[in-house]
Amino acid sequence: MKRNKMLWIFFIIPVVIAIYYLYPGQQLPSGKTIDRLVVHKAARKMEAWSGNELLKTYSVSLGKDPIGHKQFEGDCKTPEGSYTINARNPNSAYYKNLGISYPNAADKATAAKQGKSPGGDVKIHGLRNGRGYIGKFHRWKDWTAGCIAVTNEEMEELYKAVKEDAVIEILP
């Protein structure tokens, strides 16, 4: 019995982890333009759509306190609602990013009622520069300040394929 446990600890578990890390994910079909993203926060999934065609589903990490809609700056929540992709930054502190049009008028009003700033700079981004080696392991924990995080490889394909002003729907 002890030998089987040792086999699991020292051989099988590391092999499974290595396969998870190294196994290539599905590629976004080439030549396609993403005009809509749909984020399902509870499932930690983001769908990329071109018209009525689902192109790919990404596993994502969210804000550290992901349940509920973002209320104000610093609450570590990922917003919920319909927004657009309104900016691109190839030189951010996190491997590239796509800006999300948060806050909208309703978000600003909600934060103002609480006497707080709604915040901003909500993005879809890769991993912190210099930490790309973390790869898929970033998905094991919600770690952003309210953004949506993917691997650097995934961010590269999103950065190229998401059209300007694409709609992003962020669902609970």
C-alpha span between 51 and 41 (Å, rounded) = 22
Structural contact between residues 72 and 118, judged by C-beta atoms closer than 8 angstroms = yes
Percentage of the chain surpassing pLDDT 90? 81
pLDDT at 92: 93
Asked if 125 is an active-site residue, the reply is yes
Residue 17 has what pLDDT? 79
How sure is the predictor about 3, in pLDDT bands with cuts at 50, 70 and 90?
low
Q: Where in the chain are the domains?
A: 33-171
Higher pLDDT, 30 or 46: 46
Given pLDDT bands bounded at 50, 70 and 90, which one contains residue 8? low
Q: Is CATH 3.40.190.10 what the domain over 33-171 is classified as, yes or no? A: no
Q: Which of 40, 69, 76, 147 is catalytic?
A: 147
Average pLDDT of the chain to the nearest whole number? 92
Evaluated on CA atoms 74, 102, 58, 28, the torsion sign reads negative
The structure's pTM equals 0.89
> Which pLDDT does position 23 carry in this prediction?
74
What was the pLDDT predicted at 6?
Answer: 67
Compute the distance between CA of residue 118 and CA of residue 108 in angstroms, rounded to an integer.
6
Residue 13 confidence (pLDDT): 76
Q: Which of 69, 76, 125, 138 is catalytic?
A: 125
Does the structure show a pLDDT above 70 at 43?
A: yes
pLDDT at 22: 72
Residue 1 has pLDDT above 60, yes or no: no
Q: What's the CA gap between 171 and 78, in Å, rounded?
A: 10
Burial of 128 per CB tally in 10 Å (0-12, 13-18, 19+): middle
